[in-house]
Amino acid sequence: MDDRIAALKGLPLFSDLSDRDLRRVIEIAKEVVHTDGQPVVEEDASAAGFHLILAGEAAVSVHGAEVATFRAGDYFGEMSIIDGKPRSASVSARGELRTLGIPSWNFERLMDQHPSIMRALLSELCRRIRAIEAARS
């Protein structure tokens, strides 16, 4: 459990939580190992949860074109949890991939109980939007 707590602590989303609260997050999360090429989430599918990469790499694709690579410490799924819309990208394992998943209903409860998580998520979404805008310029 210690490596999962350390991984969560390393994220701005969870940095304000106590070790006790982080242990509660671990209790509602599930660690999953994905094999090479296995989809973790699929574009246009309904939201199922938040995913934190603990180990390995994942390919991110939009409309079939690879747009990014995620590694340990990266996370995804937060947008669909916030707005309830389908996934904006597909994410598939590249080699063996270990993730920590939090179902959307549990993640929503976390945001209600810890507003700092919502603030950090909004800041991260803004950062990502600004990066996309800068890349288009």
Write the pLDDT tens digit of every residue in 34-71: 999 999 999 888 767 889 999 999 999 999 999 999 99
Instruction: Give 6's Cβ-side CA count (13 Å radius).
Output: 6
What are the structure tokens assigned to 123, written together? 């800041």
pLDDT of residue 1: 53
- In the chain, the domains with their CATH numbers are 2-136 (2.60.120.10)
Mean pLDDT over each residue of the chain, to the nearest integer: 87
Asked whether residue 17 carries a pLDDT value surpassing 70, the answer given is yes
- Cβ atoms of 51 and 89 closer than 8 Å: no
Q: Which alpha helices (DSSP H) does the chain contain, by range?
A: 2-9, 19-28, 78-83, 104-113, 115-136
Name the percent of the chain lying above pLDDT 90: 36
Summarised one tens digit per residue, pLDDT across range 18-38 is 888 888 888 889 999 999 999
